[in-house]
Amino acid sequence: MKMTSKTAVSGDHGDRTFTLGELAERIGADLRGAADIRVVGVAPLDEARPDEVSFVGHPRYAPLAAVSRAAALIVDASCKELERPLLLSNNPHLTFARAAALFAKPPRLAAGVHDTAYTGPGIVFGDDVAVGPLAHVGADCQIGPRTLICGGAYLGDGVVIGADCIIHSRVVILDACRIGDRVIVNSGAVIGSDGFGFVQDEQGHHFKIPQMGIVQIDDDVEIGANSTIDRATLGKTWIRKGTKIDNMVHIAHNVVVGEHCLLVAQVGIAGSTQLGNHVVIAGQTGVLDHVTIGDRARVAAKSAVAHSIKAGEDMAGIPAVPIKEWMRTYGNFRRLSQFRNQLKELAEKVKELEQAMQGNSDD
């Protein structure tokens, strides 16, 4: 089967258009060039059409920028000499993201509850909530205004969700969990599954500790596809405002993740661990249970955090140590063959010396 050319890739924008003058004002950039050119979207430098805006992230892209067909380029002062219409910004990455957000097509979902969705009794819907086909909204849920519950999403009983959230298809949010405003949960994420809590009995059998708490997710959090956040044993597992969590991240019961953290894909955080604010945990790293990670600490990818980390520390390794120590030790690790040869050489020299001494003594 052929794919028709009408299918969207880049170049498929929403219906919004702006003049460069309007755009500059909206994104807080300083326009150098004609204000009345009308633009319909954003695109990479080499793909942008004359009605699209692009950006230059680094002066090394200046040659590419010079030949781009884009209507205007978002740049910082280092590129202000480019003889093109420019949108000057101190932070062109951020300004470009803001421009892209203006043009981005919101998910299409008509307000109201679709006929094929299931809704339990006692639900309170805010204005303009949309519940897609085959979604499940359990009894006594409260859903804030303009929130989208996409097709096939599942909310258990008593779930509370704030305003302007996007709950994508096939998300599961289980009983009594609470979600703030402007939260995005990507498909396949599971929020409120049982924590992994067992006690061994006399026979070494694992007796399940009932997981009776909830998950609370605060405003402006994003949760990645197929991530899991377990409910607390008692009390709450808590993701605080502004934190962004990538795909397939595992957050165990009673963990607290502070504000504005980044947890990259396939990270795992074990039970009752506490992260401060602005913490960054890179991909595939694991953090043991019951440790504390201070504000603005950062942990490199594929590390294993076994102990608490002070604020502002950068860590790496299995187990994680301060990154400078890790680099020094790792440098020596790679010199091991050299050490081995030096040891052998030294041992020979010492032997020779001993024999020579022996000889001298024998004189």
State the Cα–Cα distance between residues 285 and 305, nearest whole angstrom. Answer: 8
Closer residue to its own copies, CB minimum distance, 22 or 295:
295
Residue type at 272 in one-letter notation: S
Q: Write down the least CB distance from residue 88 to its own copies, Å.
A: 16
Q: Which residue has the tokens 């962004």?
A: 244
Annotated catalytic residue within 58, 168, 250, 253: 253
Q: C-beta of 160: minimal distance to its own copies in Å?
A: 5
Residue 8: CB minimum distance to its own copies, A: 4
Residue 63: CB atoms within 10 A of its CB come to 10
Please confirm, yes or no, whether 205 is among the known catalytic residues: no
In this structure, is the dihedral angle defined by the CA atoms of residues 315, 318, 321 and 324, taken in order, positive or negative?
negative
Task: Write down how long the chain is.
Answer: 363
Nearer to its own copies, 32 or 278 (CB): 278
Beta carbon of residue 36, minimum distance to its own copies (angstroms, whole number): 25
CA distances from 68 to 38, 61, 331 (A): 17, 10, 43
Long-range contacts for 242-247 (Cβ within 8 Å, ≥24 apart)?
A: 242/218, 243/218, 245/221, 246/283, 247/186
Label residue 296 exposed, middle or buried (CB < 10 Å: 0-12, 13-18, 19+).
Answer: middle
H-type helices in 74-221, by residue range?
92-103
Query: By C-beta, is 35 or 133 nearer to its own copies?
Result: 133
Nearer to its own copies (CB atom), residue 76 or residue 222: 222
Measured from the CB atom, the residue of 213 and 294 that comes closer to its own copies is: 213
Residues catalogued as catalytic:
253
